[in-house]
Structure 1
Amino acid sequence: MESIADGIKKFLRKREIPTGLYCKVHPTIELMRYAHPISTDYDPLMHGELTEDGFQITSTTFCSHCAKEGVYMLKQQSISEHQANTGYLKNSKYGKFKILKSQSLPGKKSLWYARFDTFKIQSESNNEQEVFNNARRIARDYIQGKKFNTVFVGGAGRGKSHLAMAILQEVNEALKDKKFSCLFMNISELVREIKNSWNYTDKKDLEEKLTTLMRDVDLLVIDDIGTESTFSKDNSWVQGVIYKSILTHDS
């Protein structure tokens, strides 16, 4: 069965725009740009060019090997700090348990109360009971050490975020003695937090810290990844954050 990460990589390969330029770190790897749906507020003077079939092209170039090796992060973050963060994740049993509550950006405070026993099934006709049962099974599988990716797809208000957080809460509690880390990131909240940090020099490395954390945790939830904010006027940068965080995540 194809993993979600592999599926995203295959999707991105179809959107690759060769640049004819090569990475300075990996001279044999050609840098790529990517085509994506056009922004609703697209301005050709600000947001770059379009493909012949109407897709917007990222202004940022990417090297697949640099992303896998975390080179983008290491350019702006000291090696010692990176090692300290990695050591914290690897060596602190209860430090890892606390990551979910201390580092997550859920967007809605109500999600902290999301548990399986607080999920309300609104309609049997929408297969909500089946979805709920599958979510509980997914949580059990993660607890048992199985490795796979999960995607919740559906309209707004169907409980996708609730069930995703419920899975994390269940897994985090069950594996708190096993140095297992969980993290919940709402993509809009992540973008807002990073952009706000640009106004403060003492937080200038927040983007690198957050993307590193997202890469290193054992179980990561990205919430609302398909929202319009992903393709806003800052889409090239946002997609770069997603690329560094998700496509290079080990799970």
Structure 2
Amino acid sequence: MENLGTIMSDILKRVEKERGITVDLENIDMEERRKQDEIRITKKYKAQEKYRMFNSSLVSDPDDLKSTFDDFLTDTPEQEEELSQAQNIANKIYKGDTSNYLFTGKAGRGKTMLAVSILNGLKSLDTDITCLFVSVEMLVNLERQAVVDKFNIEKNDVYRLEKCIEKCDVLVLDDLGSETSFVTGSDIQPATRFTQEVLFRIADYRKNKANIITTNNAGGELQRMYHGKIVSRLLTRKPENVIVFGGQDMREV
């Protein structure tokens, strides 16, 4: 039986004879190797970019970024449903969905854990999707420091972070509302103009991209805190994109 190289050589000779052309096998091989090298380099760059983006997250404790779906307790039917909803959201984003999602409920119910689990789930897959986690309180504080920064250190940090926020495919904005007030209900006060301006800029970056907002506040409270354009661009209007976390404080379990 003839090998593949011999067969290909015979085919090329016939083509050259019938069409009066010369086929340079060596150049074909070099072109194919060049294409494969380009594919390999591009894939390596995208993998590095995915991890670089995630490592640019703004968080007080890096260990908070290690959560996976396996870490979420499902001792009650409500917790099982919360986990299932979060996994469905991860699957929708993986398939290309660019909606806004809202995780709301009292502190310690697992909102941040499941939001991070979604990011880690997407990061672990063979995909180019880039993810970023940002604490809203830390973001606003960093922006304030940059205003009075004489040496451009914080200004440069803010610039790099905002570029990541603008470019990433999936953004978690964690604990929206905490940067403004720790109260709920009728005592809620509007966010400062400075905070509103920061969030409006972020909201403008995130149009037509997937955003996950975690908050201890209800939707009505957030509407009293922030300008309508911020609410419209960052908060979902779809009930199916909202997870309401109940149950016991996981930090006390």
Distance 1:205 1:109, change over 3 A: closer
Q: Does 1:185 align with 2:97?
A: no
The within-5 A match list for 1:23-102 is 92-102=45-55
Deviation at 1:233, TM superposition (A): 10
Other-structure match for 1:86: none
Deviations 1:30-67 (A, max 9, x none): xxxxxxxxxxxxxxxxxxxxxxxxxxxxxxxxxxxxxx
CA contact (8 A) 1:187 1:223 kept: yes
Once the two structures are superposed, residues 201-244 of structure 1 have per-residue CA deviations (whole angstroms, 9 ceiling, x without a partner) of: 13224333322321221111101112253799982122211111
Match of 2:58 among 101, 105, 114: 105
Map 1:1-251 to 2 at 5 A. 92-124=45-77, 127-176=78-127, 178=128, 180-197=129-146, 198-199=148-149, 201-203=151-153, 204-229=155-180, 235-249=192-206, 250-251=208-209
Letter in 2 for 1:181: T
SS at match of 2:205: coil
> Aligned with 1:137: secondary structure?
helix
The structure-2 alpha-carbon separation of the partners of 1:134 and 1:234, relative to structure 1 and needing over 3 Å to count, comes to: closer
Say which SS state the counterpart of residue 150 (structure 1) adopts.
strand
Instruction: Say which structure is richer in helix.
Output: 2
Give the 3-state SS of the residue equivalent to 2:142 in structure 1.
Answer: helix
Shift of 1:191: 2.1
- Residues 223 and 97 of structure 1: CA distance in aligned 2, closer, same or farther (over 3 Å): same
What's the % identity of the aligned pairs?
25
2:228 corresponding residue in structure 1 = none
Q: CA deviation at 1:105?
A: 1.0
CA shift at 1:169, angstroms?
0.8
> SS state of the match for residue 185, structure 1?
strand
Separation in 2, partners of 1:154, 1:193: 26
Alignment size in residue pairs: 157
Instruction: Name stretches of at least 5 consecutive residues in structure 2 with no aligned partner.
Output: 1-43, 182-187, 210-253
Distance 2:116 2:66 in 1: 9
Greater relative contact order (Cα < 8 A, sep 6+) = 2
> Which AA in structure 2 matches 1:168?
L
TM-score using structure 2 length = 0.55
Distance 1:151 1:99, change over 3 A: farther
Q: Structure 1 stretches of 5 or more lacking a match? A: 1-90
CA distance in 2, matches of 1:244, 1:233: 17
**Bigger Cα Rg:** 2
Inter-CA distance 172–237: structure 2 relative to 1 (3 Å threshold): same
In the superposition, relative to structure 1, how do residues 236 and 130 fare at CA in structure 2: closer, same or farther (>3 Å)?
same
